[in-house]
Structure 1
Amino acid sequence: MLIDAHAHLLPHDYPADAPECFPRMEPVDGSDARLLLFGATRFTAKKVFFDAEARIEAQDASGVDAEVLTPMPPLLRHDLPVDDGLALARHVNEFTATLCAAAPGRIYGFGMVPLQDPDTAAAELKQIRDAGLHGVEIASAVLGTPIGDQRFRGFFEEAQRLDLPVFVHAMPVPTDRLPGSAMGTHVVGLEGATAAASMITGGTAAACPDLRLSFSHAAGGFPLVLPRAQYFWSGVWNEEPPEPARAFAHTEGPSPMDYARRFYYDSMVFDHRALRYLVDLLGHDRLLAGSDFPAMPREQPCGRTLRSLDLPAAELEDIIWFNAFRWLGLDPPA
């Protein structure tokens, strides 16, 4: 069995009377695809983005037994007025629930919220759960503020209270430090790392010990800077017992590594050496198979590189499906 814990959807269309700031999905001549028009975004969405039958066919073709579906990240527009953002989230969430109902057991849908207003976003989580959705997707930052900022603490506390997992998708932010061509690669890596680090340094990881949080693309560069954070916490290399006299910070309580090993990370890192590092550093029980499909093509078959690591069978099974159900808070199928 393989669960793809990082896959995306787009609604087929939007209400005719929707606010002008809403996305539009226009027909594509001679095709069953749709053209997404949303601000500066122009994206041709294949039928598999919004059609349950096409999704199941694609799963079967690549050896996938089920997917965790989250909205395509461009829909996470935190610059919209709150009322418009809430209306958009509810439309997308309703579509997602309908799509999941067409293929129970094969699609586990996540909702979205207007996190630009944390109180409104927190209040919407119960509606997401009541609609039968299994979690919520958020961006790595909101209008430039990392998610670990104190203003979002109540949102995460409510997600923990409702037992809803959270998927953090790295999102590029405008910057003049890198060219525009780097937005989908280096900037995403930086934002993923900042989001994960902020959850620890901002205190949310300590305040929400039972929150089930997953980061896209293994939180970018975060796993590589994590040993440095551990060193400054402990004063020693290689996770040896801390030496408080040599540490740069207090060594009471959980370490940065302890907090990081509460999170989940998807396997979308493109290289068997990177995957091996993640297994060694974070543990096989922290990793989820993910593909970013259909925004990106899957490996054929899905999980091919994971299987090439020659992990013990129990560790591989954790990564390719057991961990996904642990993150979702569901009993795995027999």
Structure 2
Amino acid sequence: MIVDAHAHLLPKDYPQDAPECFPRMESIQDSTDRHLVFGQMKFRAKDVFFEAERRVEAMDASGVDAEVVSPMPPLLRYDLPAADGLSLARHVNEFAAKLCSHDPERLIGLGMVPMQDPDTATAELAAIMDAGLAGVEIASNVLDSSIGDEKFLPFFAEAERLGAAILVHAMPAPTHRLPGSGMGTYVVGIEGMLAAASLILGGTAAACPNLRISFSHAAGGLAMILPRANYFWGGAWNEEPRDLERAVMPDDGPSPLEYARRFYYDSMVFDRRTIRYLIDLLGADRLLVGSDFPAMPREEPAAKTLRSMGLPRDEWENIGWRNAFRWLGREPQG
């Protein structure tokens, strides 16, 4: 069984009376695709983004048993006025619930909230869960504020209370230190790392020990920096017993690695050697299948690299689908 825990949707249309700041979906002559127009962005969206029947057909063709579908990340426009952000989120969430109602066992939806207004985002979580969605997708930063900032702690505490799954999707952030061509690769990797690290260092991971949260693309460079963080916390290499005489930042709480092992990470990292490192460092019980479909093409068949690694059966089943059920708060079947 395979659950693709990182796939995306787009609404087919937007209300005629929507604010001018809303996206538009424009028809394309002689095609079932549509153009998403959102500010300066124009993106050709295949019909599999918004047609449930086509979605299921594509899953069958790739050998995917279920998908966790979340809003296409450009919809996470935290620069909108809070009222408009809430209106957009509600429209996207309504569409997500409708799309997933086509086959609720195979299509599992995540909504979105206006994180630019933490109080409004927190209050909206209950409605999202009541609509049958499994949780929400958020971006890796909110108007250049770390998601580990204390102002977002009530949001994460409410998500924990409601049992909402959270997907943190790395988003490009402006920087003058890299050319624009690096935004979708290097900066996304940096953003994923910063988002996860901020939850550890800012106290959210300690305050919300039962929060079920996943990071796109394995939280970028996080796994490479964690051993260094662990050394400064404990003064020892290789997770050996702590040497407090060497520790630079000792504390009595869990280590950075222990906190990181509470999170989930999709394994869309493009190389089996990286997956092997993630398994060794974080554990096979922390990784998920992810594809970014249909924004990016899936491997054919889905999870081809994972399938090729000769993983022990229990590791493969954990990564292939059991961990996704655990992240979603659903009881694994079988």
CA distance in 2, matches of 1:2, 1:315: 13
Cα shift at 1:143: 0.4
Cα shift readout 1:267-318 (whole Å, capped 9, x = no counterpart) = 1100000000000000000000000000000000001101111111011000
| Structure 1 SS opposite 2:137 | strand
Q: Secondary structure at the match of 2:185?
A: helix
Q: 2:14: which partner in 1?
A: 14
2:219 corresponding residue in structure 1: 219
Shift of 1:245: 1.1
For 1:129, give the aligned amino acid: M
What residue identity is the alignment partner of 1:174?
A: P
Match in the other structure for 2:112? 112
Measure, in 1, the Cα distance between the counterparts of 2:216 and 2:96.
20
| CA deviation string 1:203-244 (max 9, x = no partner) | 000000000010000000011001110010011110001111
**In the alignment, which residue of structure 1 is the partner of 2:208?**
208
Following TM superposition, the consecutive aligned residue runs of length 4 or more in structure 1 with deviations greater than 6 angstroms are none
d(CA) in 2 for partners of 1:211, 1:251:
22
Confirm or deny that 1:53 pairs with 2:53. yes
Q: Which residue of 1 is the match for residue 42 of structure 2?
A: 42
Give the deviation of 1:24 after TM superposition: 0.3
* Deviation (angstroms), 1:103: 1.4
In percent, how many aligned pairs have the same letter? 68
**Cα distance in structure 1, aligned partners of 2:232 and 2:42:** 44
Instruction: Report the 3-state secondary structure (helix = DSSP H, G, I; strand = E; otherwise coil) of the residue aligned with 1:245.
Output: coil
In the TM superposition, residue 39 of structure 1 has moved relative to its aligned partner by 1.4
Shift of 1:333: 3.1
Paired residue for 1:28? Answer: 28
* Secondary structure of 1:152 counterpart: helix
Counterpart amino acid of 1:167?
A: L
3-state secondary structure, aligned to 1:43:
strand
Aligned mates of 1:270, 1:147 — CA distance in 2: 26
| Aligned partner letter, 1:315 | E
The one-letter amino acid paired with 1:223 is A
Please report how far the alpha carbon of residue 194 of structure 1 lies from its aligned counterpart in structure 2 after TM superposition: 0.3
Give the counterpart letter for 1:63 in structure 2.
G
CA apart distance, 1:104: 1.6
Distance 1:206 1:39 in 2: 39
Supply the distance in 1 between the matched residues of 2:258 and 2:311 (Cα, whole angstroms).
23
For residues 302 and 251 of structure 2, the distance between their equivalents in structure 1, rounded to whole angstroms, comes to 41
For residues 238 and 7 of structure 1, the distance between their equivalents in structure 2, rounded to whole angstroms, comes to 35
Residue 64 of structure 2 corresponds to 64
Q: What is residue 242 of structure 1 aligned with on the other side?
A: 242
> Within the alignment, does 1:299 sit opposite 2:299 as a pair?
yes
The corresponding residue for 2:142 is 142
Alignment partners' CA distance in 2, 1:30 and 1:239:
60
**SS class of match (1:110):** strand
* Number of the residue aligned with 1:195: 195
Say yes or no: does 1:125 pair with 2:130.
no
Which residue does the alignment assign to 1:267? 267
Deviation at 1:159, TM superposition (A): 0.2
Distance in 2 of aligned mates of 1:241 and 1:8: 43
Matched, 1:82 2:104: no
RMSD across aligned positions (CA): 0.7
**Partner of 1:285: helix, strand, or coil?**
coil
Runs of 5+ consecutive residues of structure 2 not aligned to the other structure:
none
8 Å contact from structure 2 (residues 135, 166) kept in 1:
yes
Cα distance in 2, alignment partners of residues 118 and 196 from structure 1: 18
SS of residue paired to 2:244: coil
In 2, Cα distance between the equivalents of 1:67 and 1:29? 30
Deviations 1:175-219 (A, max 9, x none): 111111111100100000000000000000000000001000000
**SS of 1:284 mapped into structure 2:** coil
User: Is 2:232–2:250's contact at 8 Å kept on the other side of the alignment?
Assistant: no
**How far off is 1:251 after superposition?**
3.6
Q: What do residues 118-168 of structure 1 show as CA deviations (whole Å, max 9, x unaligned)? A: 000000000000000001100000001110011101100000010101000
2 CA distance for matches of 1:38 and 1:176? 24
Partner in structure 2 of residue 289 of structure 1: 289
What is the distance in 2 between the residues matched to 1:88 and 1:192? 25
Contact 1:32/1:47 (8 A) holds in 2: yes
Q: Is the Cα contact below 8 Å between 1:244 and 1:251 reproduced in 2?
A: no
How many residues align? The count is 334
| Aligned residue number for residue 152 of structure 2 | 152
- Compute the displacement of 1:255 (Å): 0.4
Q: CA deviation at 1:97?
A: 0.3
